[in-house]
């Protein structure tokens, strides 16, 4: 098959349309799932536990096999993640997870959101805005726990 610019442009237009329509189509599928609210609650509880350095809550919300990656490519296991939160040098002034999007597929859920924070260390304020994807797994008791988290730097605006 010969690919022309016209064919390629048409295929890209269809792919773009599907990419924009996918969240709406997926949204219709998972909006009926009662687990979405439970995952959303877990995401928010994790946010609060990170801010408040609540070790017991961090432990309760995460799986033993946790893989937690940062936007600078560092990867931590559960113990390293909790230790990093508990022994951080900066004071977190605010932490928000706007643009939260959740999709539940059986006993697995994907949560995507932004990480928007303000922290202070040695009198210097740092503002952070990154993208995050979390993978949550439903447990036998019906609770949800974080299995994996990956963050990434957002592109610079043109």
pLDDT lower than 70: segments of the chain = 1-33, 158
Question: Which burial class, exposed, middle or buried, applies to 140 when counting CB atoms under 10 A from its CB (0-12, 13-18, 19+)?
Answer: exposed
Q: What is the pLDDT of residue 66?
A: 98
Residue entry with tokens 């995460």: 62
Upper half-sphere CA count for residue 78 (Cβ side, 13 Å): 15
What tokens appear for 31 in the block?
């909006």
Strand partners, 124: 121
State the pairing for strand pair 101-105/91-96: unpaired
| Total length of the chain | 158
And the tokens for 99?
A: 């643009």
In this prediction, residue 126 carries a pLDDT of: 95
Res 7: pLDDT: 54
- Residue 31's pLDDT is 47
Instruction: For residue 148, give the H/E element and its range.
Output: strand 144-153
E strand spans, 59-143? 62-69, 75-76, 91-96, 101-105, 108-121, 124-138
Residue 95, pLDDT score: 97
Tokens found for residue 87: 């022994």
The answer to whether residues 9 and 3 touch, using CB atoms and an 8 Å cutoff, is no
> What pLDDT is recorded for position 54?
98
pLDDT at 62: 98
The domain locations on the chain are: 1-32, 34-153
pLDDT of residue 28: 47
Q: Which two structure tokens, joined as six digits, stand for 45? A: 């509880």
Fold that domain 34-153 belongs to in CATH: Nuclear Transport Factor 2; Chain: A, (3.10.450)
């Amino acid at each position: 098959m010969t690919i022309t610019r016209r064919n390629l442009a048409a295929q890209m237009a269809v792919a773009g349309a599907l990419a924009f329509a996918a969240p709406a189509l997926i949204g219709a599928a998972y909006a009926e799932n009662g687990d979405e609210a439970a995952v959303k609650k877990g995401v928010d509880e994790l946010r609060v536990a990170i801010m408040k350095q609540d070790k017991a809550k961090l432990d309760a919300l995460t799986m033993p096999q946790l893989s937690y990656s940062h936007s600078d490519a560092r990867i931590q296991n559960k113990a390293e993640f909790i230790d990093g939160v508990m022994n951080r040098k900066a004071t977190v002034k605010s932490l928000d997870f706007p643009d939260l999007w959740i999709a539940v597929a059986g006993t697995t859920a994907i949560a995507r959101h932004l990480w928007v924070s303000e922290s202070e260390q040695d009198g210097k304020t740092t503002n952070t805005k990154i993208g995050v994807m979390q993978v949550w797994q439903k447990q036998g008791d019906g609770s949800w726990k974080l299995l994996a988290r990956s963050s990434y730097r957002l592109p610079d605006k043109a």
